[in-house]
Amino acid sequence: MYDTTAGAGHPTPGWPPAPAPWAPAPQRQPGTALAVVSLVASLLALLGVLLIAGFLFLNGSSGPSGTLTGQVTLSRTGGPLAGRDLSSTVGTVVAHDGGDVTGMRCPATPRVDQGVVTVCHGTISGETWAVVVFFEDPTGRFTLSPL
């Protein structure tokens, strides 16, 4: 195997030369073109989101803005309510919220009390809407919910 008698300058018999140290293969750095394309795509996406948000903010909603409240005048507490009186009051509440109300129609309500619900129909800012009227008490306080 290993001969210790070999002289200086003579290779040791039986041992191959040592291999070169292992070095990982050099990795390629991603090109700057990919980084530029990613940056441009990100900026375009951000610009699109800002444009949509600005459009929605400036134009807003053309109809009622959500839940509204009001009070209708009754001849007696818990009594009946004529459809034309409710139509007028609902139209006024929606108009005060910024809607352009035309042709609001509400049915007559035989008894106004907590939990009584009726549905009015009309045109608000050029679109047809159904407005649900939830009466909160027998004095005529109500909450509107546009559909």
pLDDT in tens, the chain (147 residues): 555 555 555 555 677 777 777 777 766 666 777 888 888 989 898 888 888 887 777 765 555 556 789 999 888 888 999 999 999 999 999 988 888 898 899 999 999 999 999 999 999 988 999 999 999 999 999 999 888
Tell me whether residue 34 is in a domain. Answer: no
Tell me whether residue 109 is in a domain. Answer: yes
DSSP H or E run through 29 = none
Tell me whether residue 6 is in a domain. Answer: no
The pTM of this model reads 0.56
Domain count, the chain: 1
Tell me whether residue 120 is in a domain. Answer: yes
Domain limits for position 103 = 68-146
**β-bridge pairing 141-146 and 127-135:** antiparallel
Tell me whether residue 22 is in a domain. Answer: no
Q: Between vectors from CA 92 to CA 54 and to CA 123, what angle results, nearest 5°?
A: 65
